[in-house]
Structure 1
Amino acid sequence: MVEPVSYEQIVAARAVLDPVMRRTPVIASRVLSERCGRQVFLKCENLQRTGSFKPRGAYYRISRLSPDEGARGVVAASAGNHAQGVAWAASELGISSTVFMPDGAPLPKVAATRAYGADVRFAGDSVDDALVAAHEFADRTGAVLIHPFDHADIVSGQGTVGLEILEQIPDVATIVVPTGGGGLIAGIAAAVAAVRPEVRVVGVQAEQAAAWPASLAAGAPVPLDGMSTMADGIAVGRPGEVPFRHVSTQVDRIVTVTEEELSRAVLLCLERAKLVVEPAGAAAVAALATGMPTEPGPVCAVLSGGNVDPLLVTHLVTHGLRAAGRYLGVTVTIPDRPGGLVAMLEIVRDAGASVVDVIHSRTAGTLDLDEVEVFLTAETRGPQHRRELLDALVAAGYRTQVTT
């Protein structure tokens, strides 16, 4: 049977990590507090070294290797955050590292992992595929596998996040944690259970990569058949054995969020908190923003990472604006005569919306000879304003069909 991680192990990890890890800030979120009816704080692990919580566990695990193990080097598998954590920690400790990443790993994460000193190799389409390759490499070369979540030292290192939260928010009642393989939530839950067992710990998974609900129902880790989510940092097909011991007994519940909710959460962090957070790192915010019930008392949402491709940020912001009802995509049929387009755009102007894009087409088969189809994308202030703009177009006699 897998032994649980003790409070003493987490405290020991903290003694090692304090000189090298940042004590990340906790900031209040007014917008989430208003939505939840509770005081909500954000634990900003996106501001940790390498941009996520991962170096905590990686550094502690590698620091405990024997001289002989260190001489053989370490190997890891990751979509990016654990990769960077291992690469940085290994370099700090003077140990060579090899990291296997999925073929579709975000390019900035690949570049950062190499910059921290790792030899990056690619294997498969998922973290699970990369992990198989890492195991094979370890067996072949003698390198020590630094698992992303399924090891007591990893869980102990991540548990230091829980110790900090308890000190920074002494009266915290609920801690909401992005959850993939389970190392972070297991560590936080172990720390909290030892000091303040009444505090609720809630895990959040991407709906399209949620291995925990089925595993908890089965009483053991169960692999998913497949995953498809923008939240690559928590896209793990099978929970770890060590985390499972803690999550099954110390975590209040696991909830899921949709892709739209994740994109809106990324946008909320950017607009309202002025924080760059990746989709996986914003999972806790997504759950709270959609009305997840919490216990009375302060709530802490862990922002687990901020390593997001700048090109993806543009896509995420657009996706988030659409999901929040702040983009209207509509096909409008207008008269094919001089001034026809201007007249339609004046309605958009008078409604207080901003035109993002206009495509003018005469080729649709449903058009009469004196008609033109316009594909309009407009930015609005929200769902109500979006409806007002549509109503104004219809009231002016235009045929409309909403596309987004």
Structure 2
Amino acid sequence: MNWPITWEDVVAARARIAPYLSATPLRRYAALDEEVGARVLVKHDNHLPTNAFKARNTLSFMTALPAEQRARGVVAATRGNHGAGLAWAGTQLGVPVVVCVPVGNNPEKNAAIRGHGAELIEAGRDYDEAVEVAQRLVRERGLVLAHSTNDAHVIAGAATMSAEICEQAD
């Protein structure tokens, strides 16, 4: 996929993820409207399998990978939801996933990543050092790097939420 991302890219991402993810609710809460003095709609992506919108992004990324790259597996550096999303998507598609987090990362995030089936590597003092570990694993194991933001398929996956909002809002 090329930059910039087009509406057609978002439609394609939606088609790829639809077999795995249902549309999430868009709700209005009168008390919230009153509190902020405006009409507010809340998109409940917390209803997705990982309790976060990152399931969209990572599934879009994984379903766009050629079979040869899926077979090699993917690796990412993260502090949480991106890793859980990748782990969940990997389980759905049979793709091995390795997630690198810094030492001292949130134990609940680590448990979610492991719980969805990823190999978790705790290394480095911070996110940047975890990225270095992930990049090393790309070289050593031949894994595909799954960047959390700098990937057109990831961004198109995130944009599927906006497409749903446009359809659901009245």
Task: List structure 1 segments (4+ residues) > 6 angstroms apart after TM superposition.
Answer: none
Q: What is the match of residue 87 of structure 1?
A: 87
Query: CA contact under 8 A between 2:13 and 2:156: conserved in structure 1?
Result: yes
Q: For 2:32 and 2:55, how far apart are their aligned partners in 1?
A: 28
Q: What is the match of residue 107 of structure 1?
A: 107
Q: What is the match of residue 166 of structure 1?
A: 166
Higher relative contact order (CA 8 A, sep 6+): 2
Q: For 2:32 and 2:128, how far apart are their aligned partners in 1?
A: 34
Letter in 2 for 1:37: G
* Structure 1 residue 60, shift from structure 2 partner: 1.4
Q: 1:248-294 deviations in whole A, cap 9, x for unaligned? A: xxxxxxxxxxxxxxxxxxxxxxxxxxxxxxxxxxxxxxxxxxxxxxx
* Structure 1 residue 53, shift from structure 2 partner: 0.5
Q: What is the match of residue 8 of structure 1?
A: 8
Distance 1:130 1:5, change over 3 A: same
Q: For 1:79 and 1:139, how far apart are their aligned partners in 2?
A: 22
Q: What is the match of residue 216 of structure 1?
A: none
* Structure 1 residue 109, shift from structure 2 partner: 1.6
Q: What SS is found at the alignment partner of 1:162? A: helix
Q: What SS is found at the alignment partner of 2:4? A: coil
Q: What is the match of residue 130 of structure 2?
A: 130
Query: CA contact under 8 A between 2:54 and 2:81: conserved in structure 1?
Result: yes
Q: For 2:15 and 2:153, how far apart are their aligned partners in 1?
A: 13
Q: For 2:52 and 2:28, how far apart are their aligned partners in 1?
A: 19
Q: 1:51-70 deviations in whole A, cap 9, x for unaligned? A: 10111111111112222212
Q: What SS is found at the alignment partner of 1:68? A: helix
In the TM superposition, what are the counterparts of 1:88-237 in structure 2 within 5 Å?
88-170=88-170
**Structure 2 runs not aligned, ≥5 long:** none
How many aligned residue pairs are there? 169
Letter in 2 for 1:95: V
Letter in 1 for 2:112: A
Q: What is the match of residue 48 of structure 1?
A: 48
Q: For 1:4 and 1:126, how far apart are their aligned partners in 2?
A: 30
* Structure 1 residue 104, shift from structure 2 partner: 2.4
Q: Aligned Cα RMSD in Å?
A: 1.5
Q: What SS is found at the alignment partner of 1:117? A: coil
Q: For 1:27 and 1:105, how far apart are their aligned partners in 2?
A: 33
Q: What SS is found at the alignment partner of 2:75? A: strand
Query: CA contact under 8 A between 2:99 and 2:119: conserved in structure 1?
Result: yes
Query: CA contact under 8 A between 2:17 and 2:63: conserved in structure 1?
Result: no
If each structure's strand is expressed as a fraction of its own residues, which one has the higher value?
1
Q: Normalization by structure 1: what TM-score?
A: 0.40
Query: CA contact under 8 A between 1:9 and 1:156: conserved in structure 2?
Result: yes
* Structure 1 residue 126, shift from structure 2 partner: 3.0
Q: What is the match of residue 214 of structure 1?
A: none
* Structure 1 residue 135, shift from structure 2 partner: 1.4
Query: CA contact under 8 A between 1:22 and 1:49: conserved in structure 2?
Result: no
Q: For 1:129 and 1:5, how far apart are their aligned partners in 2?
A: 29
Q: For 2:156 and 2:56, how far apart are their aligned partners in 1?
A: 9
Letter in 2 for 1:157: G
Q: For 1:162 and 1:35, how far apart are their aligned partners in 2?
A: 24
Q: What SS is found at the alignment partner of 1:5? A: coil
Query: CA contact under 8 A between 1:74 and 1:96: conserved in structure 2?
Result: yes
* Structure 1 residue 163, shift from structure 2 partner: 0.3
Q: For 1:66 and 1:16, how far apart are their aligned partners in 2?
A: 13
Query: CA contact under 8 A between 1:45 and 1:52: conserved in structure 2?
Result: yes
What is the percent sequence identity of the aligned residues? 37
Q: Which has more radius of gyration?
A: 1
Q: What SS is found at the alignment partner of 1:50? A: coil
Letter in 2 for 1:41: L
Q: What is the match of residue 32 of structure 1?
A: 32
Letter in 2 for 1:13: A
